[in-house]
Amino acid sequence: MKTNDTNPEIIDAEPEIVHTEPESHGDPEIEEMVDDLVGIGRMWAHHGMTIGKMALKSSAKTMEVTAGVLEKLARRVAPGEESKA
């Protein structure tokens, strides 16, 4: 475990990756079910990443519009702009 130099209580939580090979019991029915479950997991992972991408794009567009509004507002409240309001 690593600690942060400025705060020893903060631990660098890097997970330890352990690679193991799945045990094959030779039962074709079990292997087919495992393959099906892996396929379902991959479909959900793909779906989640697609939805995440769409959410990030939407959020970015919202922030872009908000930034434009703030820029216009900043110009209107800038010193010397009182008479133009």
Question: Looking at residue 29, what is its pLDDT?
Answer: 92
Residue 60 within any structural domain of the chain: yes
Banded pLDDT at 47 (limits 50, 70, 90): very high
Number of structural domains in the chain:
1
Buried b (16+ CB within 10 A) or exposed e, 25-57: eeeeeeeeeeeeeeeeeeeeeeeeeeeeeeeee
Residue with tokens 């995440």: 52
Which structural domain range is residue 62 located in? Answer: 40-78
pTM as predicted: 0.51
Instruction: Answer whether residue 4 is part of any domain.
Output: no
Residue 30 in this model has a pLDDT that exceeds 50: yes
What average pLDDT does the chain have?
A: 83
Contacts of 1 (CB under 8 A, 6+ apart): 11, 12
DSSP H helices in the chain? 28-77
Domain membership of residue 11 (yes or no) is no
**Structural domain contains residue 56:** yes
Structure confidence by residue, pLDDT tens digits, 64-75: 999 999 999 999
